[in-house]
Amino acid sequence: MREPAGPGLVHHWIERAASRDPDKPYIVFADDGRILSYGDLLAATGRISAFLSKLGIGANDRVALLANNSIEHLLVYLGTLVHGATICTVHAEINRNQLTNILAALRPRLAVFEEALKLDAALSAAATSALPLGSRNDQRGESFFAAVNRMEAANVAAQGVRPRDSAVILYTSGTTARPKGVVLSFQELLSNTGPTAEAFGMTAQERIYDFRSFNWCSAQTLSALPTLERGATLILGSRFSRSRFFDHIRRYGATIAAGNPTTIHLLLEGEETLSVREVPTLRFVTSSSAPLSAEDWRRFEDRFGIRVSQAYGCSEAGWIAAIAGEHRRIGTVGRPLAYHRLAIVSATGEPLPPGEIGAIEIGGLGDNPYRHLGDDGTVTVSDRGRLKTGDLGFLDEEGHLHITGRVKELIIRGGVNISPAEIDAALLQAPDVVDAASVGVPDDVYGEEVVAFVVLRPGSALEAAAILDHCAAVLPAYKAPKEIILSQALPRSERGKLDRKALVRVWQKRHSR
């Protein structure tokens, strides 16, 4: 029988791991080797809960966390979950230009911030109680941890908090557009933990290296919570470093390393000549947050001898499909987590058979409401029961999920739907093409026409006409790009997500001249 996915479950995982081996590291900070043991974690989360109780913070009260990766960051995150309040993780650097609006919408009872980020103006405008994060060893001063360390560890106050109370509010990345606040209940967040650990084949012996921001859902639901649930160890990096990536894996004996397409691409562009024999503990590297091209996938595995496990998820639901690297299949994102009851559906909502492309739909928690935070701070229900993720894909005969694109990125030429991902894949088969992206642009005859942006290998003399000829040979005429634009780079977020809207704007600017 599955444990109820309420806030007490987080405390149970910590207590269980601490009772088995209190000295076992839960976190090793890769930058300097500092360790947080499970025994330390149990004591610290108890004191954090006591401090939040003293402040009168309870169920659905919000604690804003504005900090980069650190042991302290994850202690505040877990301590707030253990207490049963709502932790609001905001990537302050990425969302700096929207921080005033975000804090106004959150209306937190407490904001905990990293002083080095220099957030005084936004915090002053928010008019909320705020404390600098400080160090977990602080005994004096006015930092959050100095106050926490003056408390006696207490019984956690999560009793009475309901599974559908809000556990986390996450903000999607946003630079010019307003970021979206996603609200996850304890039930949603914690129900994803065990199935995710199982899908990736994680055990208590795992040592997971993750440098991605723990303000994002993907890092929290792969490397923070499943590691805790298994009683494993997290090797925490402050941020990605091409020069230190393999060194950290080797030094700390990582068995799984997290990543994304940008990570894979940067490692391929480096001069690292490492062999899998030099990192014998490493089982595989993950890739998520954006599609990884089959070309980069094969190049990485051929060059380093290390498997890549591509997986799939979204902030509203956590991990949706995953697979251990030992069983990965290039071009897929693994098998769907059973509890999501994933289906591929037609435009009218009818389930489609294996091999047919349709919208990806999930909904494994009954009449569960999928919620977002409005600009005015109110929580609104965007979907209930079943959720369309906005992605297109299909299931093959063996149950592996293939992602073919985004619904909103479909190119509709003459009434025919065209997936940009299919065209991108064809472009990447051309010699010397290292990156490619297709978009639909306005056309007087067909409504939309296909245009492709291409990045060539440095030093290549390949011309746009030759790429058009290649596409004409491998794609049906109605899918083949009508224009190739050679570019130095394609616009991507730090998580590797391609910004096709920015490419359309580039095309429009070129043609407006």
- Identify whether residues 89 and 18 lie together within a single domain: yes
- How many Å apart are CA 114 and CA 50, to the nearest integer? 22
Nearest to 368 by CA among 348, 383, 351: 383
Q: Are strands 207-210 and 256-257 parallel, antiparallel or unpaired?
A: parallel
The answer to whether position 2 is within a domain reads: no
Question: What's the pTM value of the predicted model, to 2 decimals?
Answer: 0.86
CA distance to 67, 73, 174, per residue, from 126 (Å): 17, 21, 19
- How many Å apart are CA 303 and CA 495, to the nearest integer? 23
**Could you say which of 377, 406, 435 is where a domain stops?**
406
What band does 158 get if pLDDT is binned at 50, 70 and 90? low
**Could you say which of 372, 406, 440 is where a domain stops?**
406
pLDDT in tens, 427-469: 999 999 999 999 999 988 888 999 999 999 999 999 999 999 9
- Identify whether residues 491 and 358 lie together within a single domain: no
pLDDT in tens, 478-509: 899 999 999 999 998 766 788 899 999 999 99
- Identify whether residues 351 and 414 lie together within a single domain: no
The answer to whether position 177 is within a domain reads: yes
DSSP secondary-structure letter at 381?
A: E
- Identify whether residues 154 and 244 lie together within a single domain: yes
How many domains are there within the chain?
Answer: 3
pLDDT in tens, 94-123: 888 889 999 999 999 999 999 999 999 999
CATH number of the domain where residue 370 is located: 2.30.38.10
- Identify whether residues 384 and 488 lie together within a single domain: no
The answer to whether position 460 is within a domain reads: yes
**Which of helix, strand or coil describes residue 336?**
strand
CATH number of the domain where residue 201 is located: 3.40.50.12780
- How many Å apart are CA 196 and CA 206, to the nearest integer? 14
The answer to whether position 92 is within a domain reads: yes
- Identify whether residues 17 and 69 lie together within a single domain: yes
**Spatial contact of 113 and 66, defined as CB atoms under 8 Å apart:** yes
Give the mean model confidence (pLDDT) for residues 354-361.
Answer: 95
Helical residues (DSSP H) of 242-358, grouped into ranges:
245-252, 261-269, 294-304
Q: What is the pLDDT of residue 174?
A: 44
The whole domain housing 383 covers: 341-406
pLDDT in tens, 200-249: 999 999 999 999 999 999 999 999 999 999 999 999 999 999 989 999 99
DSSP secondary-structure letter at 405?
A: E
The answer to whether position 3 is within a domain reads: no
* DSSP output for 201-213: T--TT-EEEE-S-
Other Cβ atoms closer than 10 A to 431: 11
- Identify whether residues 349 and 437 lie together within a single domain: no
Half-sphere exposure of 377 (CA within 13 A, CB side): 13
Give the mean model confidence (pLDDT) for residues 172-177.
Answer: 53
CATH number of the domain where residue 417 is located: 3.30.300.30
Whole-number mean pLDDT of the chain?
Answer: 92
**Spatial contact of 263 and 240, defined as CB atoms under 8 Å apart:** yes
The answer to whether position 393 is within a domain reads: yes
- Identify whether residues 224 and 252 lie together within a single domain: yes
| Cα 477-396-354 angle, rounded to 5 deg | 85
- How many Å apart are CA 401 and CA 362, to the nearest integer? 13
Other Cβ atoms closer than 10 A to 423: 25
**Could you say which of 332, 354, 374 is where a domain stops?**
332
The answer to whether position 190 is within a domain reads: yes
- Identify whether residues 419 and 492 lie together within a single domain: yes
- Identify whether residues 378 and 450 lie together within a single domain: no
pLDDT in tens, 290-329: 888 888 899 999 999 999 999 999 999 999 999 999 999 9
Residues 6+ apart with CB under 8 A from 416: 478
Q: Are strands 284-287 and 312-314 parallel, antiparallel or unpaired?
A: unpaired
Q: What is the pLDDT of residue 41?
A: 98
- Identify whether residues 143 and 214 lie together within a single domain: yes
Q: Are strands 110-113 and 130-132 parallel, antiparallel or unpaired?
A: parallel
- How many Å apart are CA 38 and CA 233, to the nearest integer? 9
Q: What is the pLDDT of residue 177?
A: 57
What band does 4 get if pLDDT is binned at 50, 70 and 90? low
The answer to whether position 111 is within a domain reads: yes
Q: What is the pLDDT of residue 101?
A: 92
- Identify whether residues 116 and 186 lie together within a single domain: yes
DSSP secondary-structure letter at 413?
A: E
Helical residues (DSSP H) of 2-56, grouped into ranges:
8-20, 38-54
